[in-house]
Amino acid sequence: MTLENAVRRVNYCSTIIPDEFDRLSPKEFFSARRLPFNYPFDRDVCRAEAIPEDPIAQGKGILIGNSATFENNHADLFELLHHLPLAERQIIVPLNYGDRVYAHKIARLGNECFGANFRPLLDFMPFPQYTELLRSCSAAIFYHERQQAFGSVILALWNGSKVFMSKTSILYTYLRKRGIVLFTIPDDLNEASLAAPMPRDAVIANRTILSEEYSYAAIRAKIAADIDQIGKDRETSQ
């Protein structure tokens, strides 16, 4: 069976963001019905009650990427950052899952570029400890072009980090359409922008949008709607 024939048999498709489904829709062999993807988070993430209460990231850390994969474009990003005065800022780079060979290459490159300020995460850590580390990052930079690191992006936005993304990224385009306040690479990635904290009103605005879409209550409601829709479709087809 060819790939196209296999895809013809698919009744439902749930992509991380609608834009990915929209790119598939024009294909003649693709006729699946879209179901919203429900990104799983802890109950405490994106709670409406916490919008004004959760602390806003104030630390000097800079988070880079989400994994040891080529799509993070670490080397290109290191080159951009290497020329900026970041002497007092810790560069935190998650490399604890993905390609281990690539992880160690990026760790060596990061040490060459940033010296003692470079902190590669090569081992997994408990989730509460990881989220606390993220709160120490007032900036988070994701240089992906395809959709990737969505969970990390949402956590960074919720924490109030200033999030930088490639302006040609499909995920950046989607989030901007949703009204999320973001910053672009390379246009906004400069000393002044990295030094300035995310305005509180922008953090609250971002949290409000994220809560409506990704809170536990919102995700639970969408899953229930998906199950109900599949049930109705099966009844109709019988």
Residue type, 238: Q
Give the E-state strand segments of the chain in sequence order. 12-13, 33-34, 61-64, 91-94, 118-121, 137-142, 162-166, 183-185
**Per-residue confidence (pLDDT) for residue 225, from 0 to 100:** 84
Closest residue by Cα to residue 46 from 169, 144, 121, 153:
153
State the Cα–Cα distance between residues 42 and 51, nearest whole angstrom.
Answer: 15
Report pLDDT for 40.
67
Phi-psi category of 130—alpha, beta or left, where left has phi over 0 and alpha has psi -120 to 50? alpha
| pLDDT at residue 238 in the model | 65
CATH homologous superfamily, domain 48-214 = Glycogen Phosphorylase B; (3.40.50.2000)
Q: Provide the residue ranges of all domains of the chain, joining segments of one domain with +.
A: 48-214
The pLDDT profile of the chain, 238 residues, written as one tens digit per residue, is: 688 899 899 988 988 899 999 998 999 999 998 888 877 677 778 888 889 989 898 889 999 999 999 999 999 999 999 888 887 899 999 999 999 999 999 999 999 999 999 999 999 988 888 888 888 999 999 999 999 999 899 999 999 999 999 999 999 999 999 999 999 998 999 999 999 999 999 999 999 999 998 888 888 888 888 888 888 877 787 6
